[in-house]
Amino acid sequence: MEEEYVKLIFGLKLRQIRTDKGLSLFQLGKISGLSKSYLNEIEKGKKYPKTDKIILLAESLEVSYEDLVSLKLDKNLAPISGILQSKLLKEIPFELFGIEERDLIEIISNAPSKVNAFISTMIEIGNNYNLTRESFFLAALRSYQEANDNYFPEIEAAAKNFMKAYLIDEKDEINEDWMLEILKEEFGYQIIFEDFSSELQTLRSIYKPKNKELYINNSADLNQIRFILAKELGYNYLKLEERLLTFSWAKFESFDQLLNNFYASYFAGAILLPEENLVRDMNRMFDINRFNPEIFENVMRKYTESPETIYQRMTNLFAKHFKINDLFFLRLSYKVGTDSYKLTKELHLNQHQSPHANESDEHYCRRWVSVRVLQDFEKVKDEKSHLLDAQISVYPFQNQNEYFVISSATVDPFNSDLLRSVTLGVKLEAAQKKIKFLKDPKIPVKKVAVTCENCGMENCSERAAHPKRYLKKLQNQQLNEAIDAFIGSN
């Protein structure tokens, strides 16, 4: 175990035994001959006493030396011991959020029973909602993005410096042949295009770090190849050593790998869709009085055929350049011929945004434009490669919040049996000053909810499930009102 954690566990045990015997630090100091300040440092996990001092403490507390130095805690503190001995505190880069590891240790040592209750609560929530390690780390990454408005100036600057260093004009589209040459000549890559086996067919690339071999699946389309190459440039130019080895990623071993994957992906977006160019085009789109899907589609085609890439890149720029940070990004997956919709990616620059992913297998609202565009695209997918739709979504059960929401549907690039919609939503109140077409009366307005189970909308023709959670909540509210009325009556 880490030396810091050994100190902390010893301090927790000492405090627990002392308090169980009803002794204050002052009293224990008098019995043992050790100073109160020294004992306080031990209990906070800052110091670990030498053998002679441990013997003194064991005798003073009337416990065996072995019990005192044992790393085993009783059942009340067992979850804390488990989390300290796990890699959790080491895997999450708390410094990203301005938190020092010592701060956490201090909190635990100051109120171990309360921290234990909190940890136990989190474990229970995780078990009830099937919260995996993957989900936890992805949530931590999203929180980091949200805390920074998903805009990282140091990576934007690195992307600009890269373009200058390799004599690439930001006004021009970066060429995939040029990226291949830089990876080979500058970073010593071997790049092999080949057919992947059936087991690996869902992957578009695999990297073998030993010989810097990048294998690209022959089934990858041009946009995927360009993104793969740009991302590899990001890993190398940003000097990111801990990394994921596949695209799309199948597994990760540490939070650093996940974080660096985000950094490399951000860099890729920044060189494929340069900041100044895209901001200029966004300004042109937003400066018209009527919503025109064709203008939006033309901007997308200018840079890439992948709506997801441009939607995500726009989330980087909204807060910085348009002062719009009340927004969300969603990716929804739909299996052809079924009624199954799954939220596979989300980002909220303000935690109050809806909808959030749910972990209880409920049915997402079928009034979402991201669902409707999938339903419509299923009918025309053989004639079109992309379908775009938009609406103003009103959440009557969530403070009447209103969002302009635009969504694009395509065939899932990794699985032809799936359709995918990517969605960008901006809060109407926050965005109307910057986006003129939001006042266009021709944009359809829809009342929506998050899930059918939690929706009280009456006579909804799109309802996919009984509103059991809403009715339960309503029943509890009525019961509480009846109780209050009864207690308040004469």
Mind listing the pLDDT tens digit of every residue in the chain (490 residues)? 477 778 888 888 888 888 888 999 999 999 999 999 999 888 888 889 999 999 999 999 998 888 888 877 666 666 666 666 666 566 666 777 777 766 666 666 666 667 667 666 766 766 666 667 777 788 888 888 888 899 999 999 999 999 999 887 766 778 899 999 999 999 999 999 999 998 898 899 999 999 999 999 999 988 899 999 999 999 999 999 999 999 988 888 888 899 999 999 999 999 999 999 999 999 999 999 999 888 888 888 888 778 899 999 999 999 999 999 889 999 999 998 888 899 888 888 875 556 665 556 788 999 999 999 999 999 998 888 889 999 999 988 766 789 999 999 999 888 888 999 999 999 998 898 899 999 999 999 999 988 888 888 888 899 989 999 889 999 999 999 999 999 987 6
Q: 418: how many CB neighbours lie within 10 A of its CB?
A: 17
Question: What residue type is assigned to position 20 of the chain?
Answer: D
* pLDDT for the residue 96: 73
- What are 146's two structure tokens? 């949200």
> What predicted TM-score, i.e. pTM, was given to this entire model?
0.80
* pLDDT for the residue 112: 63
* pLDDT for the residue 16: 83
**Radius of gyration for the alpha carbons in the chain, expressed in angstroms and rounded:** 28
The answer to whether residues 27 and 17 touch, using CB atoms and an 8 Å cutoff, is no
Question: What residue type is assigned to position 156 of the chain?
Answer: E
* pLDDT for the residue 127: 65
Q: What is the DSSP letter of 301?
A: H
Cα gap 375→42, rounded to integer Å: 63
Q: What is the DSSP letter of 190?
A: E
Query: Which residue in 104, 47, 101, 1 sits closest to 14, CA to CA?
Result: 47
Q: Is 216 helix (H, G, I), strand (E, B) or coil?
A: strand
Sequence-separated (6 or more) residues with CB below 8 Å from residue 458 = none
Which residues, in sequence order, are bridge partners of residue 388? 408
The answer to whether residues 190 and 206 touch, using CB atoms and an 8 Å cutoff, is no
User: Residue 85 — φ and ψ, nearest 5°?
Assistant: -85, -15
